A and B are shown apart, each in its own frame.
Chain A
Amino acid sequence: MATPVLDKDAAGAPGPSSAESPYITVTFRVRRFNPEVSAEATWEDFQFEIDPKERVLDGLHKIKWDLDGTLTFRRSCAHGICGSDAMRINGKNRLACKTLIKDINPEKPITIEPIKGLTVLKDLVVDMEPFFQAYRDVMPFLITKDTNEPTRERLQSAEDRERFDDTTKCILCAACTTSCPVFWNDGQYFGPAAIVNAHRFIFDSRDEAGEQRLEILNDRDGVWRCRTTFNCTDACPRGIEVTKAIAEVKRALITRRY
């Protein structure tokens, strides 16, 4: 059995400065904004040594803990489950805790900005409220019409369960919604994440409010705004086929079958 030592050259990352040290020098070019200090957002460069196998989040912590405690960002679980640390890294929406430095060309400065389309409150922290409001607007909960609930669980075949599996993976990180050009131009658009969460219920065989949800998404700010740019699918850190889910909702609106 091989020992899992990562091949330093495999990922195209530069070798360490000496044969023994895995550390390399990187530059994080971070978008800073603090209205308590200035009304203008600025770029600030931070240079430090880090093992390229570490996460971008580890780099941000290095800055916050050792260089500049005022740098502000959200994070919690640090392994791609809680959805706190979506940000724009080298121009692409990613979770900082799921992005390894070696994978994003660390020879050049790594740019880090807040996700787009939501109001920036401080540094990488944005106002998530409009995002969650769109989520709440699609009625993201199981609705059944039966007056007598079964004593045991509702039955669902493995195939019916599989039908909506992909969209149950959503962690509400907003990486998809804030990568969408339609959302950037019009914050009223529900955005991919809300549609993903509507999909999760529309295609759940136990749910009986599919029609209502489809009508909500038939709105002028609903699914028809989607221009199929696939940014959302590229951005999703959970690998959800977001654009496909949106297309399925569109098709359900036309055929009324789901």
Chain B
Amino acid sequence: MKIHKYDTVIVGAGGAGMRAAIEATKRSRTAVLTKLYPTRSHTGAAQGGMAAALANVEEDNWEWHTFDTVKGGDYLVDQDAAEILAKEAIDSVLDLEKMGLPFNRTPNGTIDQRRFGGHSRNHGEAPVRRSCYAADRTGHMILQTLYQNCVKEGVEFFNEFYVLDQLITETDGIKRSAGVVAYELATGEIHIFQAKSVIYASGGCGKFFKVTSNAHTLTGDGQAAVYRRGIPLEDMEFFQFHPTGIWRMGILLTEGARGEGGILRNKDGERFMEKYAPVMKDLASRDVVSRSIYTEIREGRGCGPEGDHVYLDLTHLPPEQLDAKLPDITEFARTYLGIEPYTDPIPIQPTAHYAMGGIPTNVQGEVLADNTTVVPGLYAAGEVACVSVHGANRLGTNSLLDINVFGKRAGIAAAEYAQSADFVELPENPESFVAEQIERLRTSTGNERVAQLRRELQETMDANVMVFRTEQTIKTAVEKIAELRERYKNVAIQDKGKRFNTDLLEAIELGNLLDLAEVMAVSALARKESRGGHYREDYPNRDDVNFMRHTMAYREVGADGTETVRLDYKPVVQTRYQPMERKY
């Protein structure tokens, strides 16, 4: 075991982590621990753009952007945070441009902008061009640009270090972050990182679904690590299903395709979104479009012999436009489906995409131990966190924005805190939890296999807590997850070695997914209303009287060791927008 001491430790090297690292490295001795090489993060898979009311191509302002974000989130958004997001969006985009990001340009040489779902002019009048983009590779360009600037700033990376535990020490009745425990993939060695500040920027947890746009590595490691240590998770029932995943594979096809004029059609060739969202049509918010697609499928208007998908039609767009604006997604259609998007529509279905919920933070990125109490020295930003700027449904292009605005804020706040704070004493035997976990998995003689349990988890999540939910389906999921958690105790791995043991890490990742799936299902069961990405067929309306509040899920361990999820609630911050009926 090795012990390291840093002022600031950042967990994760995607967009949020590297944006934080650029700030933190300038102000404090910083280490970035990442389970992948920095440019491998799933930020790179984001395609369509980053919203900011630059008004480069038409009238726009950050107040309209704030409104769209609040409305898009079905009024569960904390409006103070949304205002910061929309206001600081402009500088965030300009920061990236100055760092070198190659945005597409207008004829005047300014950053070009295009339409995106849910982004509107003057509070819903018509779609507005707000998304700053680099073809359909905006996430890739952000990730590369941030890594380039990390190289420039000399950011210190620990690549292929898996953070498996959060260290918390209670002093003077206050829980404080003391550091993290990491597992080095190359050697199997355990490392303790004592740090004054820790920032979680480890991304989402979409791998508990089967059809998902998420990478294999998005297993909620950060959320699970803090949740096990008594930190709540906020709004985990809200998960976004992106309307246009490649049929059966789930690979993302950007909303920018519809921003460029692409149209969704059912088996009769009908542009069905006109029925569901007369103004915004194909550019309604993602939850609305995904539900519309499944409604078409359920009512027998789906395409193909099994009627289980619809089409994304780009055939009316000039090939030059597709080549210039959507080169990657058209190539995906060719590579994975053998389809030529110039001439043939692309079969799509909604795909599990983004966790709106996560580790609760305030607008400085400080993690909350309950509705109000900050955990000194602990921060989170990006998909792992819940500020909450996305509420019940995130707007497209607001996540690349989120990682930049709140990554930067968390990086500055954490480093400034580290400048004034002392190290918190490590708990006794800080490595014990991780060491025991690894030892148990390495020596287990159980008969359960990781892949089998993960498949069963993904099947039940897709079947029961996806776009449409009912009390019965969610209960089925809760029971199945409980069964899988029980069977997980008997999981065994084949690779017993120390060197690059990805077999072991997949087992640990599955444990994280099971913990988070339980939180999600339990939170969803209790929310007896429909709001944003959480749609209950048995409660089809939004219920502001009883549920205009954030869910806060805590892990409780009984005297006999049984674990349960305890739910509490937190008020939503409302400033200028009163809840209205949500129409597109």
**Which residues of chain A have a CB within 8 Å of any CB of chain B?**
1-6, 10-11, 34-37, 64-66, 68-70, 72-84, 98, 100, 121-123, 125, 128, 132, 135-136, 139-142, 149, 152-158, 161, 164-165, 168-172, 201, 204, 206-207, 239
Q: Given A98-B335, A136-B151, A171-B39, is A78 in contact with B497 using a C-beta cutoff of 8 Å?
A: no
From A36, A81, A82, give the contact of B498 (CB < 8 A): A36
Q: Which of B60-68, B276-284, B337-345, B560-568 contacts A (4 or more CB under 8 A)?
A: B337-345
The stretch of B80-88, B136-144, B362-370, B461-469 in contact with A is B136-144
- Per the bound structure, the CA–CA distance linking A76 and B106 in Å amounts to 34
Contact B39 A70 (CB under 8 A): no
Question: Is B344 in contact with A4, judged by CB distance below 8 angstroms?
Answer: yes
- Output the residue of A2, A76, A155, A172 with the most chain B CB within 10 A: A76
Q: Which residues of A contact B269 (CB under 8 A)?
A: 1
Shortest CB-to-CB span from A65 to chain B, Å, is 3
Cα A169 to Cα B141 with chains together (Å):
8
Closest chain-A Cβ to B270's Cβ sits at a distance in Å of 12
Q: Residue on A with the closest CB to B107?
A: A158
List B contacts of A5 (CB < 8 A).
Answer: 304-305
Q: Which of B94-102, B410-418, B543-551 sits within the interface? A: B94-102
Q: Is the CB of B102 within 8 A of A204?
A: yes
Q: A169 contacts which chain B residues (CB < 8 A)?
A: 137, 140
Contacts of A154 in B (CB 8 A): 97-98
Known: A121-B186, A140-B148, A206-B100. A82 touches B499 (CB 8 A): no
Residue pair B335, A82 in contact (C-beta under 8 Å) = no
A169 to B337, CA, bound (A): 22
Asked whether B332 lies within 8 Å of A82 as measured between CB atoms, the reply is: no
Once bound together, how far apart are the Cα atoms of A201 and B104, in whole Å?
16
- A67 nearest in chain B by CB position: B494
Cβ–Cβ < 8 Å partners of B318 in chain A: none
- Contact of B45 with A by CB under 8 A: yes
Write out, one digit per residue, whether chain B residues 262-284 have a CB within 8 A of any chain A CB (1) or not (0): 00010101000000000000000
Find out whether the CB atom of A70 lies under 8 angstroms from the CB atom of B503: yes
* Given A4-B304, A66-B451, A72-B502: A36 touches B497 (CB 8 Å cut-off): yes
**Most A CB atoms within 10 A — which of B39, B41, B337, B503?**
B39
Note all chain A residues with C-beta closer than 8 A to B497: 34, 36-37, 70
- 14 A-B residue pairs with CB within 8 Å: A3-B347, A4-B347, A65-B451, A66-B451, A76-B40, A81-B140, A84-B37, A139-B152, A149-B98, A153-B103, A155-B110, A157-B109, A168-B137, A171-B140
Query: Does B303 sit within 8 A of A, measured CB to CB?
Result: yes
Q: How large is the interface on B (under 10, 10 to 19, 20 to 34, 35 or more residues)?
A: 35 or more
A78 touches B335 (CB 8 A): no
Nearest Cβ in chain B — how far from A7, in angstroms?
8
Contact A156 B105 (CB under 8 A): yes
Known: A98-B335, A168-B102. A77 touches B94 (CB 8 A): no
18 further A-B contacts with Cβ under 8 Å, apart from A36-B497, A76-B216, A156-B109, are A1-B303, A3-B347, A4-B304, A4-B337, A5-B305, A69-B493, A70-B494, A77-B40, A77-B215, A82-B41, A82-B215, A141-B149, A153-B97, A154-B97, A168-B144, A170-B144, A171-B44, A204-B100
Quote the shortest CB–CB distance from A106 to chain B (angstroms). 16
When the two chains form their complex, are residues B186 and A80 in contact, meaning their CB atoms are under 8 A apart? Answer: no
B102 x A165 contact (CB < 8 A): yes
By CB atoms of chain A within 10 A, which of B99, B106, B336, B337 has the most?
B336
Any chain A CB within 8 A of the CB of B578?
no
| Shortest Cβ gap from B25 to chain A (Å) | 14
Given contacts A4-B247, A171-B140, A142 and B100 within 8 Å (CB-CB): yes
Q: Are A155's CB and B109's CB within 8 A?
A: yes
- Contact between chains at B305 and A3 (CB < 8 Å): yes
Note all chain A residues with C-beta closer than 8 A to B148: 140-142
B495 at the interface (CB under 8 A from A): yes
Once bound together, how far apart are the Cα atoms of A172 and B40, in whole Å? Answer: 9
Instruction: Write the chain A residue with the least CB distance to B44.
Output: A81
CB of A48, distance to nearest CB on chain B (Å):
13
Is B499 within 8 A of A36, CB to CB? yes
CB-CB < 8 A to A161: which residues of B? 102-105
Contact A75 B345 (CB under 8 A): no
Asked if B311 is at the interface (CB within 8 A of a chain A CB), the reply is yes
**A123 — which chain B residues lie within 8 A by C-beta?**
500
Residue A125 contacts which of B107, B451, B500 (CB distance < 8 angstroms)? B500
* Cα distance A64–B247 in the bound complex, in angstroms: 25
Q: Mark B486-513, 1 if CB is under 8 A from A, else 0.
A: 0000000111011111110000000000
User: With an 8 A cutoff between CB atoms, is B191 at the interface?
Assistant: no
Residue B196, interface by CB 8 Å: no
Q: Scan residues 3-58 of chain B and give those whose CB is less than 8 A from a CB of chain A.
A: 36-37, 39-42, 44-45
The answer to the question of B111 belonging to the interface, with a C-beta cut-off of 8 Å to chain A, is yes
A78 CA / B212 CA spacing, docked (Å): 11
Across the A-B interface, the 4 shortest Cβ-Cβ residue pairs: A142-B100, A65-B451, A69-B494, A155-B109
Least CB separation from B345: chain A residue: A1
> Which residues of chain A come closer than 8 Å to B339, judged between CB atoms?
4
In the bound complex, CA of A165 to CA of B102 (Å): 8
User: In this complex, what residue of A is CB-closest to B152?
Assistant: A141
| Residues of chain B with a CB closer than 8 A to A132's CB | 37
Across-interface contacts of A79 in B (CB, < 8 A):
45, 249, 251, 332, 336
Most chain-A CB neighbours within 10 Å: which of B40, B344, B451, B495?
B40
CA distance A168 to B44 in the complex (A): 13
A128 and B98: CB pair below 8 A? no
**A98, chain B: closest CB distance, angstroms:** 6
Chain B nearest CB, measured from A86 CB (Å): 11
Q: Do the beta carbons of A140 and B151 come within 8 Å of each other? A: yes
Closest Cβ neighbor of B309 among chain A residues: A4
B499 touches A35 (CB 8 A): yes
Q: How far is the CA of A73 from the CA of B41 in the complex (A)?
A: 16
